[in-house]
Amino acid sequence: MGHRARRRAALLSALVAAAVLTAAALQAAPAMAAGTKITLRGSDFGRMLWGPNRQAIYIFENDRPDRSRCYRRCAREWPPVLTKGKPVAGRGVRQRLLGRTTRRNGTRQVTYAGKPLYYYAHEGPGEVLCHDVFLNGGYWWVVGRNGDRRP
């Protein structure tokens, strides 16, 4: 085998190795970034938090800091925003306000400024149907960038 052939073989081996390493890194990336992404978008109530698939996010007046009080029937109507990893701050969201709390069943619920976050089960993408409504024993509000309820 000549000098050029050995050089091509070495280059080809290096390219194959780089491709294998890149594929392995891409497969590992989702496991490292398994946290739920929260973003800030506009709405009729001003800029507010949204979950994946443009699902509106709410807080519940009866919750305590880092502690949900919404279980059973309430949690069926208002599913908690769950995460497997550290929540991810999307555009406009303050990473330092994102956190997690552990629910009774061991799942991890996303919090923002210490407030557990929820979706409303009967909304589609981009809909906000239950801001400032009294359901399941308390008021529900959409959440602004600072973690407070929107007016």
Q: What is the pLDDT of the chain when averaged over all its residues?
A: 84
25 and 54 inside one domain:
no
Give me the domain span that covers residue 26: 1-32
Residue 115, class by beta-carbon neighbours within 10 Å (0-12 exposed, 13-18 middle, 19+ buried)?
A: buried
pLDDT per residue as tens digits for the range 82-127: 999 999 999 999 999 999 999 999 999 999 999 999 999 999 999 9
56 and 99 inside one domain:
yes
CA–CA distance, 11 with 5 (Å, rounded to integer): 10
2 and 65 inside one domain:
no
43 and 97 inside one domain:
yes
Contacts 24+ apart (CB under 8 A), 74-80: 74/136, 74/137, 76/121, 77/120, 77/121, 77/122, 77/135, 77/136, 78/118, 78/119, 78/120, 78/121, 78/135, 78/136, 78/140, 79/118, 79/119, 79/121, 80/107, 80/109, 80/110, 80/116, 80/117, 80/118
pLDDT of residue 2 exceeding 80: no
pLDDT per residue as tens digits for the range 90-100: 999 999 999 99
Q: What is the mean pLDDT of residues 54-66?
A: 97
49 and 103 inside one domain:
yes
For strands 88-89 and 58-60, give the pairing.
unpaired
28 and 43 inside one domain:
no
Contact (Cβ atoms closer than 8 angstroms) between residue 149 and residue 93: no
6 and 73 inside one domain:
no
15 and 50 inside one domain:
no
Q: Is 148 part of a structural domain of the chain?
A: no
Contact (Cβ atoms closer than 8 angstroms) between residue 58 and residue 130: yes
64 and 3 inside one domain:
no
State the total domains in the chain.
2
77 and 95 inside one domain:
yes
More confident residue, 55 or 6: 55
